Structure 1
Amino acid sequence: MTSCGKVENPILCAGGCGFYGTSSNHNLCSQCYKTFLKEEAKNIVVLSEKISSLTFHEGTTTENVDSTMKIKQRCMTCKKKVGLIGFSCRCEGMFCSVHKYPEEHSCTFDYKSFGRVTLAKENPPCRHDKLENRI
């Protein structure tokens, strides 16, 4: 283009529609360029779907992954759906807000012995030699 806005060498659209195209649009007119961009976007979406469908785990298929995702979390006592707000217990169960306490769901985990073992590990006995100056 010149400074006055006139086109020096008009280029016909590469799409064959008969309009004039520009070099900034890959020698396409505005309508053909829009369809070109839409096709490119579709190709990108198809490629991203193919990439996301690939599994990177050895020995597992997408069916195994889908079946594990469909497991719904329910309270072990009342069978109420808990979803994301479920409370897990040390007895390997998932519970709702009503049954989250051990006395509410008859927990089988022994908290007393667990506490005694952790205290014994964290606090070793401190014994001092009673006869320091022994020969």
Structure 2
Amino acid sequence: MCSVCYKKHHGISVGAPKAARELQQPSRCAACCKKVGLTGFMCGCGKTFCVRHRYTEKHGCAFDFKGAGRRIIARANPLIKGEKLPGRI
């Protein structure tokens, strides 16, 4: 068998691009579009920022950090109530 027939016989896709070879866009600051590479800072809103725009005041972030912190604490510390004892004084 030729290589094309062999791949068809064994169910291997012919000519399909591999996912590992996809080109990745270089990471850029969401505020000024500057290339940041490995020195970028991820914000709670999910965007990457450069050194100048890493703070929430600098890039006008609308992410609620207090609310997120409260949800994390609430999940980590569930409310525990004991059973009521009706016959106890």
TM-score of Structure 1 vs Structure 2, range by shorter chain: 0.5 to 0.7
Give deviations 1:57-98, integer Å, cap 9, x for gaps.
Answer: xx96159834x33x1211111111101111112212110011
Q: Report what 1:65 is aligned to.
A: 21
Q: Would you say 1:88 and 2:42 are equivalent positions?
A: yes
| Structure ranking higher on relative contact order (CA contacts 8 Å, 6+ apart) | 2
Partner of 1:75, secondary structure, is coil
Q: Could you tell me which runs of 5 or more consecutive residues in structure 2 were left unpaired when the two chains were aligned.
A: 1-14
Q: Report what 2:73 is aligned to.
A: 119
CA 1:60–1:100: 2 relative to 1, 3 Å: farther
User: Greater share of helix residues, 1 or 2?
Assistant: 1
For 2:48 and 2:57, the matched residues in 1 are separated by 14
For 1:128 and 1:85, the matched residues in 2 are separated by 50
For 1:87 and 1:76, the matched residues in 2 are separated by 10
CA 1:115–1:63: 2 relative to 1, 3 Å: closer
For 1:122 and 1:132, the matched residues in 2 are separated by 31
| 1:102 aligned residue (33, 43, 56) | 56
Q: What's the TM-score once normalised by structure 2's chain length?
A: 0.63
- Matched-pair identity in %: 43
Q: Which protein shows a greater Rg?
A: 1
Q: What's the TM-score once normalised by structure 1's chain length?
A: 0.45
For 1:126 and 1:74, the matched residues in 2 are separated by 46
